[in-house]
Structure 1
Amino acid sequence: MARLAGRTYVHSEVKDIIVSAYKDLEKEQPDKVYKYAETGFEDGGRFRPHKTHRNGLSVDFITPVIDKNGKSVHLPTSPLNKFGYNVEFDANDHYDGMYIDYEAMAAHVVALHQQAKQHGQDLWRVIFDPKLQPNLYKTKYANYLKDNIEFSKNRSWVRHDEHYHVDFKTPCE
Structure 2
Amino acid sequence: MPLYVGAADSSTCYGTTANGRLENAVLLPSEGENFIGYSSIARLAGRTYVHSAVKAIILNAYAQLKQELPDKVFKYAETGFAKGGKFTPHKTHQNGLSVDFMVPVVNSKGESVHLPTTPFNKFGYDIEFNKSGVFEKYKIDYGALAAHLVALHKAAGKQGHDIWRVIFDPSLQPHLFKTKYGSYLRNNIQFSKKRSWVRHDEHYHVDFAVPCK
Report the TM-score when normalising by structure 2: 0.80
What aligned pairs does 1:8-87 form with structure 2 within 5 A after superposition?
8-87=48-127
CA distance in 1, matches of 2:141, 2:119: 23
**Hey, what does 2:152 align to over in structure 1?**
112
AA in 2 matched with 1:76? P
Other structure's SS at 2:43 match: coil
Displacement after TM superposition at 1:91 (Å): 2.5
CA distance in 2, matches of 1:11, 1:172: 10
Answer whether contact 2:131 2:172 (CA < 8 A) is retained: no
**Hey, what does 1:154 align to over in structure 2?**
194
AA in 1 matched with 2:200? H
Answer whether contact 2:103 2:115 (CA < 8 A) is retained: yes
CA distance in 2, matches of 1:99, 1:45: 34
AA in 2 matched with 1:86? D
How much is the aligned-residue C-alpha RMSD, in angstroms? 0.7
Which of 120, 124, 131 matches 1:91?
131
AA in 2 matched with 1:71? E
Other structure's SS at 1:145 match: helix
Unaligned regions of 5+ residues in structure 1, if any? none
Q: Deviations over 1:64-89 (max 9, x none)?
A: 00011110000000000000000001
Report the TM-score when normalising by structure 1: 0.98
**Hey, what does 2:172 align to over in structure 1?**
132
AA in 2 matched with 1:96? E
Relative contact order (alpha carbons < 8 A, sep ≥ 6): 1 or 2 greater?
A: 1
Structure with greater helix percent: 1
Q: Deviations over 1:22-71 (max 9, x none)?
A: 00000001000000001001111210111110111000000000011110
Displacement after TM superposition at 1:112 (Å): 0.1
How many percent identity over aligned positions? 66
CA distance in 1, matches of 2:132, 2:201: 12
CA distance in 2, matches of 1:161, 1:126: 12
Other structure's SS at 1:26 match: helix
**Hey, what does 2:143 align to over in structure 1?**
103
Which of 163, 166, 171 matches 2:206?
166
CA distance in 2, matches of 1:69, 1:79: 26
Q: Deviations over 1:117-141 (max 9, x none)?
A: 0010000000000000000011000
CA distance in 2, matches of 1:132, 1:93: 7
